[in-house]
Structure formats: C-alpha cells, structure tokens
C-alpha cells in the first residue's frame, strides 16, 4: 500500500511524501496512538511549507536584487530559520533519530554540515578580499572626491588605486600575464618584484591551504545526496524527508555563497537534482538556474564572484578607467562634470560595500556558529536518548 | 600715520603667530584666525605670498624634489639624501597648505595644481621607499625566533638607548641560541634606524592625506613577515576537513606545533608587531590600530581556526588530554588576547578567541559524555576468566586518574555549564560539578561491572570478580586527586562494599563445607555417629576437592587481597577441620581406621587453600 500511495502522490507536482502521511492520518484517525503521530506529522509538514515559502520569497527577487549583499543576507537568514526549525524537529524526535535507519541519515547530515564550515571560513576570507578592494575605491574617492580642483596628480593617484584594484580582482590564472602591464607613474622596482609581493599578498588572505577547493568541498557536501524513497518515508514517518530537506537547503546555500563571493577554486558545476515534487524544489531550482545564467553572461564569466556589488565595482572601475584614459588637462567643464558623476558612482558602490560587508561577515560567522551548535546539541541529545534506551 | 599703524599691526600679527605657533600648522591656524578677524588683515597678511614668491618657491622645490623622484637608487641608501628629500617634502606640504586658502587667485591656483602634482609624485616615491625599507629591514633579520639577535625585555616605554639601564636584568643574559622558554620578550623586527626612517615617511604621508596607501603598504609587508614566521614554526594552513581526516597521531603532532606557535605569536610576535606599529605610526593611533589589525588578522584566524577544528572534531575519549592542552593554552593566552587586541578593530578577533575557548570546554564535556557511552556500551557478554580484573575497569580508572591531574581545569570546564545534566535525574547535589561527573562515571562503571558479574554462574566467582574490580577501583582512587574529588565517604562506602563481597564469597563457597564439618554429638548413637561422621568426611573431601580444583584457577590480581582471602578461608576452615578430625579420631571404632578415611591432614588443607586463586596458567599476576 505505501508504494501505491507514493506513486499516486508523486503524480501531483506540489506534494512529496507528505500527502501520504496526511492521507494515512485520516485513515488511522480512530486509532489510539493517533494524537502523537499527528502532531509530529503536522510539525514535519509545517517545516516543508516554511522552507518552501522562504525560498519562494527569495526567488521573488528581481534581477537587481538577486545576488546583492541584502539578498545574500536574506538567504543566510533563511538558512538560519530553517536550521532553527530543523533543530526543534531533531529535539522532538531524538529517540527515533538514535535508531536505524534515521541514525545513519542524521549523522550523514551532521557530516555534511561540518563540510559546510570550511565553506563558511572560505567565504569569510572572500569577504576580507572584497574589503581590500573597498580600500582601493576609498583611495579613488580620496583622490577625486573632495578636491578643490582635480589635477593630474589626483588622477594619477586614482589611477594607481584602480590598477591595484584590477590586479587584486584578477583571477589567479590570469594574474601573472596582466601583472607585467602594471602601470606605475614611475618605476624603480622591476615588475618581477611587485609580482612577488603581490603574490604573497594574495596568498595571505586565505586561511586555508592553497590546495583547498570550494568546488571540491561543494562536491563533498552534495555526494550521495538522494531523495528518500517512498517506503522509507513511510517507515520513518517522513522524518527522513525533513533531514533530506535540510541537507538540500545546506547544499544550496553553500553553493550560492560560493557563486557570489570570491574563494579558492570556485566551481559551480555541483549537480542539483531534486525531484520537483518537494514543495521547495521549484523555487530552489529556479534560483539555481538564474544564478547559473548569471554566471554564463559574457561580462560575468571571468568574474571572481557573482555578487552584485562586485559587478558594480568592476563596472565603476571600468568607467573610471575609461575616463582617466580619455582625459586631457586642463579639464573642460563637461569633463569635469563627467568626473563628478563617475566619482558619485564610485561613492555609491563604495558605500554599499562599506555598509554591507560587516553585517554580512557577522552573519556568515553566525551561520558557522549555528551549524556547530546545532550539530553539537543534536549529537548530544541523540547520544543521550540512546543511553536511556 | 594710519598706514604706518596698519603695517605695524600686521608685523605684530605675524610675530604673534610665529611665536605662539610651535609648529607650522599652528602658525597657520593663528594667521587664519587673524585673517578672519578682519578682511584687511587677510589681504595684508597673505599679500607677500601672492606674488612671484610663490612661483619661485615652487620652482625651487620642483628642482630639489624632481631630482629625487627620478633617482634610480633608493633615496634612503644615503641618509643625507633622505633628510634633504624629507625637508623638501615638508616645505612642499607646508606650501600647499599655505596656498590652498588663496586658491581663488588664478595664478596661485595654477601653482597649487603644480604643487599638488609634485606632492603626489613625492608620495608615490615615499610609498616605494617605505615599502623597500620595510622589506629590506625584515630581510636583514634572521626570522628564526630562537636565533633572534635582539631579544630584549619588553620595556616598550623606553627608547633603545635606555636599554642598558636594565643590563642587570636576567633577561639580557639569555643565551642567544637557546630555545625560548621565557616568552616575556619583544623582538625588534626592524632595526631601530629603519623604524625611525619609516616613522619619518609615515608622518609625511599622513600629513599629505596618503595614510591609506601607507598603512596598506605597511600591512602587506608585515603580513608577509608574519606568514613566514608561521611557516618557520612549522604551522600549516589546515581546513576543518583536513583536521578531521587527519590520523590522530599526526594531529597530536600538529597540536604540539600549534601550542608552540600560538604562544610565540601571542606573546612575542604580536606584541612586537604592536610595538612596531605604534612606533612607525606614532601619533596616528587610528592608523596604527588599523594597520596592526590588518597585519595580525589572517594569522590569528589561522591559529583560531585550528583550535576550532579540534573543538569540533571527534570526541573519542583518548583525545581528552590533547584537547585539554589546547583548552589550557587558549585559556592561559586570554590575557594576551585582551592585551594585543584591545582596540576597536581587533575586538572581533578577541571575541572569536573567547568563543573558541568556550567551545573547547564544550568539547571536553562532550568527550566525557563519550566516555560514559563507552562504559555503557561495553559488551557484557565476554566474561573475564577466573573473575579477574576487567579491562574496562583498568581503562576507566587509569583514564580518570590521568584526567584528574588536570583537576583544576576540568573543574573550570564543568563549572561553566551547570546545566549540563539538566533534566537528568541522576544529579547528585552539594558537590562540585566535576565531582558529580566523576561519581556519575563511577556509578556507570559499577553498574556495568555488576551486569558483567551476572554472567558468572557461580555466585562465589561473581563475588571474586566484584572484589577484584572493586579492589582495583579503591586502590586507584586512594591518595590522588580522584579520591579527593570523590571524597572520603565514597571511599568508605566502597571499602565496606568490598567487605560485603568478601563475606558473600565466604558464604557462597565455604559455608557448605563448614556446614558439613559441624558435628551434633548430642542425639545420635555411637554407631550412628560414626556412620554419619564417615559420610560427612566423604562429603567434605569431595566438596573441598571440588572447590580447590575450581578456585585454584580463579584469579585475585592483588597479592595482598589474595593472602587476606586465603588466610580468612584457612582461618575458619582449618579450625573447624581440626576439631572435626579430633572428634573423628575420638570415635572408638573409627579412630583406628581414621587414616584410611582422612584424605587431608590439617596441614594439607591449609596447603591446598594456599594454592587457591592462582589463575588458569597457575601464574600470578
């Protein structure tokens, strides 16, 4: 009977697993143990619904919001909320989770979440990286922002900051070739020397070894992540669907972070396969698709992160570079107006980053701490439930 | 007259400004105040500037400065050049400052543009010189700390020249090549002269508004130095995943290296960086704080991430001791974190350290929980032959004894979470959390042992098993921190339990034998008595034989306990047997043939009892 139920329910696109449970609940309504089972089922269904609603909300973002710092923060908020709700489920089901087959599922989830911790740390490094770029923008503003009149000196100063910015933003693989073109107003140092110190500068920003790879880490989180089968859903009362859901949320959030923020060996090839029957599958898959499309765009393909603000940095730096290349002194009034306009653009980008990065970093840290906490609490309570058997 | 008076007034104003203003800035400010006071004064006071003088000054500065800016060799390779260049830059900065308020004047404005251009070029050159000095300065030092050529005490308030004041201090006599055991030193990462030069450059860059470039160049170079120091200390960059996948023995080595590295970092490297920063950015505290944070942030995160990975890692009980080391290391370094990272920029690093320290405490509590699980789940099925000491007893007791050597730390760890056993009904009140924890583990062990004793079918063997293990437990508890924690009552209670096991043993194996030897000589006829005595003797022989055969393979691991047990058995038995034999021999028709029936002499009984508990192999443990 469970098998038929599953097949039936899988034909309706918006429900997965839970329709069986609700149907069975109706069937067994008169039985004695109904009350407890029902409250658990309600809890699990509510979890599915809330995850779905939150991701629908995220997916409602227009193309300007998507992958912006505020959007990433909302994504992390979503993760934290899901994590909290999941934690309650774990606490309420500790004795079930301490026995097979759920024991294996939950320890598997905790293993994956430990892998996510390294992603969080890499993202923190990435945020620090963006902060270094922010400093160069600040110098541009300092040079051109509050000046009585804008002279060649200020332009050279801004230009140098822009060159430093461009080098810092380059992907590792391209960095060496472009370094030779590094343009200084005067040069006593050989290009080689600058390359050396620059190389060090970059490596110092990462707290993990040079061989660490975000793509590999995502691969590890996603490996063997398969949707639960119908008969197991029945035998676990749908508990394994909740664990699968949380696994998937974890994977997607980490993947999106890696997509948005610079880190070592960003690869977005992680395979997302989830049956559309999960309530939350549609919004997550649509977000996945939109982010991948963004990554394929010509002007973003070689970017070091899909974060909207990074794109803004690239754009305003490019505008500024074009402007500084086309400029002749003395400045015409028209040029001066253009400079002012560009400086304003830089200022807007700079301010968005300045105001956004600190709370973002704190939130990434919070996600890290929460993952650790929920894992520790989960393992403790399950092991305690085990010992009282 | 009026004209004359005005001239005088202006001259006086200039004089006042010059005298009051100790620095150029102050003079300038005072002049500005005068100028604002009266418009006519402004004209007069600045009048001299607005003419050819401006252009002449600028041309002169341009000539002096351009020569240096285009120089191929580092300016700072010659101190006279450096001083001359700095002098010119000072004049240029002052000129720009003086001319800026007059920029409305067209001719001054164009001079100002040229001056600012020159200033920018000077700053680029200064930035390069700055970077070179930091790099060369660091290169001139051997980075290996134990060979550091300039270890000297941390009297950072004093200049280098004052150091000889402390020549009598012990620290100055630390042999240079020795391993550092005293962390209370600060190294000079750069030669004093270089520090002075760097400060001189930083001062100009700050004055000209190039503080960001200066701080950036500084922190990039020093970060590199720190990173190199770290790899010299053998520290790798490890992800949490790396740490988790690592073999425990390898991780133990990494922990050793980490302990050394974090001590060197927090006690020597970071304070040295702090001092260097404060000296180079002397007078610019915000730039100093920011640069310091930029220098130390990455290394600190690397150090903390490792500790975090250890805290999050496996909670296998054997890890306790190393995790305790990491916990204690961080705990002992908390004052250093406070000290080094006291400014606003570093606050988050300090909090991070605190969080991870607490997490290590949690990990330690988790390890104890794992120990509990290990005891609970220790399989009951396999009985130790001969009722001897069970490996779990040996393991747990030695583990707890070793753990209690860190009693104070453990007390701290368990005090931190009073609610650790919240909701658990086994909580024992009125002692420290650690004592509660220890009593709880002992109780689990005893429960487990009791369950194990049940698989012996012979209840005497069951008692022997409990006696052996109980004896071991009490022995291990006595005279150490574990005993102090559990308390005298606990020990007394368990010693009493041991006596009870002893009594149980006697009762269950020897009461039957002793019962046989009891002679009731009141109500039987002589012939009946004789017959019954013969029966009794036969029974005794077979019981005694059987018990000796069985129990000679049993084990009492402790020699003293073995002797006690044997002598208490032989004490009660040989007396009863002696009496019995005496009665036998007194029976008329029996006495003659007594030797035919009496298989054991009293001495032989005692000898056989002396052979009990030798274990299966007959060897003694």
Report DSSP letters for B310-371, one per residue: HHHS---GGGHHHHHHHHHHHHHHHHHHHHHT-SGGGHHHHHHHHHHHHHHHHHHHHHHHHH
Residue B473: the pLDDT is 96
> Percentage of residues in chain B with pLDDT exceeding 70?
79
Q: Are the beta carbons of A106 and A382 closer than 8 angstroms?
A: yes
- The answer to whether B453 and B474 are in contact (CB under 8 A) is no
A207·B69 Cβ contact <8 A: no
Q: What is the pLDDT of residue B23?
A: 60
Q: What is the pLDDT of residues B226-249, one digit of tens each?
A: 988 888 888 889 999 999 999 999
Of A128, A151, A380, which is closest to B116 when you measure between CB atoms?
A151
* B contact residues 13-72, partner A, Cβ 8 Å cutoff: 69-72
State the DSSP string of B82-126.
HHHHHHHHHHHHHHHHHHGGGTTSHHHHHHHHHHHHHHHHHHHHH
- Whether the bond into A30 is cis, omega within 30 of 0: no
- Tell me the average pLDDT across A271-280: 79
Which residues pair with residue B141 across a beta bridge? Answer: none
Question: B298–A205: do the CB atoms touch at under 8 Å?
Answer: yes
Confidence of residue B1 (pLDDT cuts 50, 70, 90): very low
Domain coordinates in residue numbering, chain B: 47-143+185-209, 241-369, 375-417+432-509, 512-611
CA distance B188 to chain A (A): 22
Element (H, E) at B577: helix B559-586
**Cβ atoms of residues B333 and B304 within 8 Å:** no
Cis peptide before B6 (omega within 30 of 0): no
Range B355-384 burial, b when 16+ CB lie within 10 A, else e: bbbbbbbbbbbbbbbbbbbbbeebeeeebb
A3: exposed, middle or buried (C-beta count within 10 Å: 0-12, 13-18, 19+)? Answer: exposed
B 73-102 → A contacts, CB under 8 A: 74, 100
Q: Which residues of B touch A121 (CB under 8 A)?
A: 239-240, 305
The residue with tokens 């992603």 is A119
Q: What are phi and psi of B603, to 5 degrees?
A: -60, -40
Distance CA A218, CA A254 (A): 7
Cβ contacts of B103 on chain A, cutoff 8 Å:
148-149
Is B5 a residue whose pLDDT tops 90?
no
Find how far residue B173's CA is from the centre of its chain. 29
- Measured between CA atoms, how close is A275 to chain B, in angstroms? 30
How many beta carbons lie within 10 A of that of residue B296, not counting itself? 27
The minimal CB distance from B239 to the residues A135, A139, A208 is found for: A208
Give the pLDDT band (50/70/90) at residue B416: confident
Please determine, for residue B167, whether its predicted confidence score (pLDDT) is greater than 50.
no
Lowest mean pLDDT among A113-117, A139-143, A235-239, A366-370: A235-239
The residue of chain B nearest to residue A374, with distances taken between CA atoms, is B312
Cα–Cα distance for residue pair B83/A98, rounded to 1 Å: 75
Asked whether B122 and B161 are in contact (CB, 8 A), the reply is no
Tokens standing for residue B337: 């974190």
- On whether the CB atoms of residues B247 and B255 are closer than 8 A, the answer is no
DSSP state of B160: G
Q: Point out the residue among B103, B123, B301 whose CB comes nearest to the CB of A148.
A: B103
Residue B423: pLDDT over 60: no
CA distance A87 to A100: 19
pLDDT > 70 in chain A, percent:
80
Which residue, among B122, B127, B241, B366, would best test binding to A if mutated, counting the most A CBs under 10 Å from its CB?
Answer: B241
Q: Which of B537, B550, B441 is nearest to B505 (CA)?
A: B550
From chain B, the residues in CB contact with A115 under 8 A are: 241
Q: What is the 3-state secondary structure (H, E, C) of B371-416?
A: HHHHHHCCCCCCCCHHHCCCHHHHHHHHHHHHHHCCHHHHHHHHHC
In this complex, which of A152, A208, A220 lies closest to B117 when CB atoms are compared?
A: A152
Interface of A with B in 187-246 (CB under 8 A): 188-189, 197, 200-201, 203-210, 212, 217, 220
The kind and range of the H/E element at B151 are: strand B151-153
| CA pair distance B448, B377, nearest whole angstrom | 9
Q: What is the pTM of this model?
A: 0.83
Q: State the nearest Cα–Cα gap between A196 and chain B, in angstroms.
A: 11
Sign of the Cα torsion B341, B346, B349, B350 reads positive
Burial of A184 (0-12, 13-18, 19+ CB in 10 A): middle
Q: Return the CATH architecture of domain B512-611.
A: Up-down Bundle (1.20)
Q: Quick check: A114 and B241 CB within 8 A? A: yes
Query: Does residue A17 come out as left (phi exceeding 0), alpha (psi in the -120 to 50 range) or beta?
Result: left
Would an 8 Å CB–CB cutoff place B347 in contact with chain A? no
Instruction: With a cut of 80, say whether residue B420 has pLDDT above it.
Output: no
Q: For residue B590, what pLDDT is reported? A: 67
Question: B149 vs A204, B141, B163, B267, B419, CA distance in Å?
Answer: 26, 8, 15, 17, 52
B246 touches chain A (CB under 8 A): no
Q: Which residues touch B379 (CB under 8 Å, ≥6 apart)?
A: none
Output helix, strand, coil percentages for chain B, rounded to the nearest 5: 75, 0, 20
Instruction: Tell me the residues of chain B between 293 and 322 that have a Cβ less than 8 Å away from chain A.
Output: 297-298, 301-302, 305, 312
DSSP secondary structure letter of residue A16: S
Task: Compute the average pLDDT of residues B506-528.
Answer: 77
Residue B201, class by beta-carbon neighbours within 10 Å (0-12 exposed, 13-18 middle, 19+ buried)? buried
How many C-beta atoms surround the C-beta of residue B408 within 10 A?
12
Asked if B302 lies within 8 A of A207 by C-beta distance, the reply is yes
Question: From the CA of B454, how many Å to the nearest CA of chain A?
Answer: 20
Interfacial A residues in 123-182 facing B (CB < 8 Å):
124, 128, 135, 138-139, 142, 148-149, 151-154, 156-157, 160
Half-sphere exposure of A269 (CA within 13 A, CB side): 7
Which comes out higher in pLDDT, residue A368 or A279?
A368
Chain A contacts of B117, Cβ < 8 Å? Answer: 151-153
CB contact under 8 A, B117 and A383: no
d(CA B515, CA A72): 86
Q: Is the pLDDT of residue B157 over 60?
A: no
Question: Is the CB of B180 inside 8 Å of chain A's CB atoms?
Answer: no
CA A389 distance to own-chain centroid: 40
Residues of B in contact with A142 (CB under 8 A): 209, 212
Helix (H, G, I), strand (E, B) or coil at B298: helix
pLDDT computed for residue B48 by the predictor: 52
**Looking at per-residue confidence, does B187 or B271 come out higher?**
B271
Interface of B with A in 353-382 (CB under 8 A): 355, 359, 362, 366, 369-370, 372-373, 376
Q: Do B312 and A372 touch (CB under 8 A)?
A: yes
Residue B170: band (very low, low, confident or very high) from pLDDT cuts 50, 70, 90:
very low
Q: Please state the φ and ψ torsions of residue B104, each to the nearest 5 degrees.
A: -65, -30
Rounded distance, CA B292 to CA B294, Å?
5
| Chain A closest-CA separation from residue B117 CA (Å) | 4
A212-218 mean pLDDT: 93
Ranges A298-312, B6-20, B240-254, B366-380: which has the least confidence? B6-20
Q: What gap in Å lies between CA B365 and CA A175, rounded to an integer?
A: 48
Mean pLDDT of A78-105: 92
Q: Provide the pLDDT confidence category of residue B133 given band limits of 50, 70 and 90.
A: very high
The shortest CB-CB distance from A387 to any of B100, B366, B373 is to B373
pLDDT of residue A28: 44
Contact B227 A209 (CB under 8 A): no
Say if residues B263 and B328 touch (Cβ distance below 8 Å). no
**A·B CB contacts under 8 A:** 118
Alpha helices in B454-558 (DSSP H): 459-477, 481-505, 511-517, 526-552
Which of A207, A372, A387 is the closest to B237 by Cβ? A207
Residue carrying structure tokens 């923190």: A124
- The whole-number pLDDT of residue A277 equals 75
**Mutation site, B113, B118, B126, B229, interface A, largest A CB count within 10 A:** B113
pLDDT computed for residue B131 by the predictor? 94
Interface test with B, best of A122, A188, A198, A220 (most B CBs within 10 A): A188
Burial, A22: exposed, middle or buried (Cβ in 10 Å; 0-12, 13-18, 19+)?
A: middle
Residue B598, pLDDT above cutoff 90: no
* A324 lies within 8 A of chain B by CB: no
| CB contact (8 A) between residue B241 and residue A154 | no
Instruction: Tell me, yes or no, if A369 comes closer than 8 A to chain B by beta carbon.
Output: yes
Identify the pLDDT of residue A193.
41
B366 and A376: CB-CB below 8 Å? yes
Nearest to B301 among A118, A207, A369 (CB): A207
- Cα gap B221→B130, rounded to integer Å: 10
Separation between Cα atoms, residue B49 and residue B103, nearest integer Å: 12
Q: Which of B335, B339, B85, B292 is nearest to B189 (CA)?
A: B292
Our CA-based measurement puts residue A202 at a distance from the nearest CA of chain B, in whole angstroms, of 9
Structure confidence at residue A375 (pLDDT) = 92
**Which is more confidently placed, A202 or B104?**
B104
- In the block, tokens 């029966």 appear at B535
pLDDT the model gives residue B184? 65
Contacts 24+ apart (CB under 8 A), B580-583: B580/B517, B580/B519, B580/B536, B580/B537, B580/B540, B583/B519, B583/B521, B583/B533
State the pLDDT confidence band at B596, using cuts at 50, 70 and 90: confident
């Amino acid at each position: 009977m469970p098998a038929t139920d599953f097949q039936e329910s899988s034909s309706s696109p918006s429900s997965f697993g839970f329709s069986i449970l609700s149907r069975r609940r109706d069937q067994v309504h008169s039985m004695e143990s109904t009350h407890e089972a029902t409250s658990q089922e309600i809890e699990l269904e509510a979890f599915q619904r809330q995850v779905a609603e939150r991701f629908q909300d995220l997916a409602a973002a227009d193309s300007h919001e998507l992958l912006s710092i505020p959007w990433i923060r909302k994504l992390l908020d979503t993760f934290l909320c899901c994590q909290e709700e999941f934690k309650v489920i774990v606490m309420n089901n500790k004795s079930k989770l301490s026995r097979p087959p759920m024991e294996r599922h939950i320890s598997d989830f905790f293993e994956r979440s430990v892998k996510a911790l390294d992603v969080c740390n890499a993202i923190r490094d990435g945020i620090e990286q963006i902060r270094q770029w922010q400093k160069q923008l600040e110098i541009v503003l300092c040079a051109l922002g509050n000046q009585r009149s804008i002279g060649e000196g200020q332009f050279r100063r801004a230009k140098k900051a822009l060159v430093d910015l461009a080098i810092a933003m380059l992907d590792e693989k391209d960095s060496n070739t472009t370094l030779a073109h590094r343009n200084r107003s005067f040069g006593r140092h050989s290009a080689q020397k600058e390359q050396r110190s620059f190389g060090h500068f970059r490596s110092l920003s990462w707290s993990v070894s040079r061989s660490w790879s975000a793509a590999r880490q995502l691969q590890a989180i996603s490996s063997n992540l398969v949707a639960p089968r119908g008969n197991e859903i029945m035998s676990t009362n749908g508990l394994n669907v909740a664990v699968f859901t949380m696994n998937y949320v974890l994977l997607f959030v980490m993947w999106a972070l890696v997509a948005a923020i610079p880190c070592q060996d960003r690869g977005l090839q992680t395979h997302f396969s989830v049956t559309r029957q999960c309530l939350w599958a549609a919004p997550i898959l649509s977000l996945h698709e939109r982010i991948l499309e963004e990554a394929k765009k010509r002007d973003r393909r070689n970017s070091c992160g899909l974060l909207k603000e990074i794109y803004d940095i690239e754009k305003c730096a490019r505008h500024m570079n074009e402007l500084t290349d086309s400029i002749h002194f003395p400045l015409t009034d028209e040029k001066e107006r253009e400079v002012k306009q560009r400086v304003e653009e830089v200022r807007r980008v700079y301010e968005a980053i300045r105001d956004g990065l600190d709370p973002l970093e704190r939130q990434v840290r919070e996600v890290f701490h929460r993952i650790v906490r929920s894992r520790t609490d989960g393992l403790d309570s399950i092991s305690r439930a085990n010992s009282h058997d | 007259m009026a004209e004359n008076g005005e001239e005088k007034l202006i001259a006086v104003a200039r004089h006042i400004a010059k005298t009051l203003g100790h620095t150029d800035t102050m003079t300038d400010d005072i002049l500005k105040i005068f100028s604002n006071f009266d418009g006519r004064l402004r004209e007069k006071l600045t009048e001299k500037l607005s003419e050819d003088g401006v252009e002449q000054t600028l041309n002169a500065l341009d000539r002096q400065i351009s020569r240096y800016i285009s120089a191929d060799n580092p300016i700072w390779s010659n101190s006279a050049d450096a001083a001359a260049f700095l002098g010119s830059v000072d004049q240029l900065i002052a000129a720009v400052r003086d001319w800026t308020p007059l920029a409305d004047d067209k001719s001054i404005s164009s001079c100002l543009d040229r001056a600012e251009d020159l200033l920018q070029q000077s700053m680029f050159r200064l930035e390069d010189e700055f970077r070179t000095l930091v790099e060369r300065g660091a290169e001139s030092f051997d980075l290996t700390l134990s060979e550091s050529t300039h270890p000297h005490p941390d009297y950072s308030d004093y200049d280098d020249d004052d150091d000889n004041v402390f020549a009598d201090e012990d620290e100055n006599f630390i042999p240079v090549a020795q391993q550092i055991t005293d962390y209370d030193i600060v190294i000079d990462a750069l030669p004093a002269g270089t520090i002075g030069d760097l400060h001189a450059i930083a001062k100009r860059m700050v004055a000209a508004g190039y503080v960001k470039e200066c701080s950036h160049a500084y922190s990039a170079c020093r970060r590199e130095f720190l990173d190199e120091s770290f790899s010299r200390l053998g520290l790798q960059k490890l992800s949490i995943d790396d740490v988790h996948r690592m073999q425990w023995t390898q991780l133990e080595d990494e922990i050793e290296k980490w302990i050394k590295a974090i001590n060197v970092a927090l006690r020597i490297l970071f304070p040295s960086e702090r001092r260097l920063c404060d000296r180079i950015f002397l007078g610019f505290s915000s730039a100093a704080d920011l640069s310091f944070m930029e220098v130390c942030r990455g290394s600190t995160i690397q150090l903390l991430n490792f500790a975090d990975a250890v805290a999050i890692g496996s909670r296998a009980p054997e890890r306790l001791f190393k995790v305790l080391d990491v916990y204690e290391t961080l705990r002992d370094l908390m004052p250093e974190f406070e000290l080094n990272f006291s400014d606003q920029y570093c606050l988050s690093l300090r909090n991070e350290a605190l969080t991870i320290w607490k997490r290590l405490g949690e990990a330690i509590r988790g390890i104890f929980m794992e120990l509990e699980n290990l005891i609970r789940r220790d399989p009951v099925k396999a009985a130790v032959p001969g009722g001897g000491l069970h490996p779990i007893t040996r393991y747990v007791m030695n583990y707890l004894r070793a753990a209690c050597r860190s009693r104070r730390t453990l007390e701290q760890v368990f005090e931190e979470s009073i609610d650790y056993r919240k909701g658990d009904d086994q909580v024992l009140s009125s002692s420290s959390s650690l004592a509660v924890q220890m009593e709880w583990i002992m109780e689990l062990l005893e429960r487990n042992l009791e369950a194990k004793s049940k698989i012996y079918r012979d209840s005497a063997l069951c008692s022997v098993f409990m006696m052996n293990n109980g004896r071991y437990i009490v022995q291990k508890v006595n005279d150490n921190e574990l005993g102090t924690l559990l308390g005298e009552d606990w020990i007394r209670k368990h010693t009493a339990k041991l006596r009870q096991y002893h009594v149980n043993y006697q009762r269950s194996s020897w009461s039957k034998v002793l019962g046989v030897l009891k002679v009731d000589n009141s109500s039987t006829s002589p012939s009946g008595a004789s017959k019954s005595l013969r029966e009794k003797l036969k029974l005794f022989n077979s019981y005694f034989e059987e018990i000796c055969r069985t129990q000679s393979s049993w084990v009492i691991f402790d020699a003293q306990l073995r002797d006690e047990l044997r002598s208490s058995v032989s004490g009660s038995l040989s007396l009863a047997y002696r009496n019995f034999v005496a009665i036998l021999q007194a029976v008329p028709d029996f006495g003659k043939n007594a030797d035919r029936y009496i298989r054991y002499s009293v001495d032989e009984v005692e000898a056989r009892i002396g052979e009990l508990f030798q274990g299966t192999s007959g060897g003694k443990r």
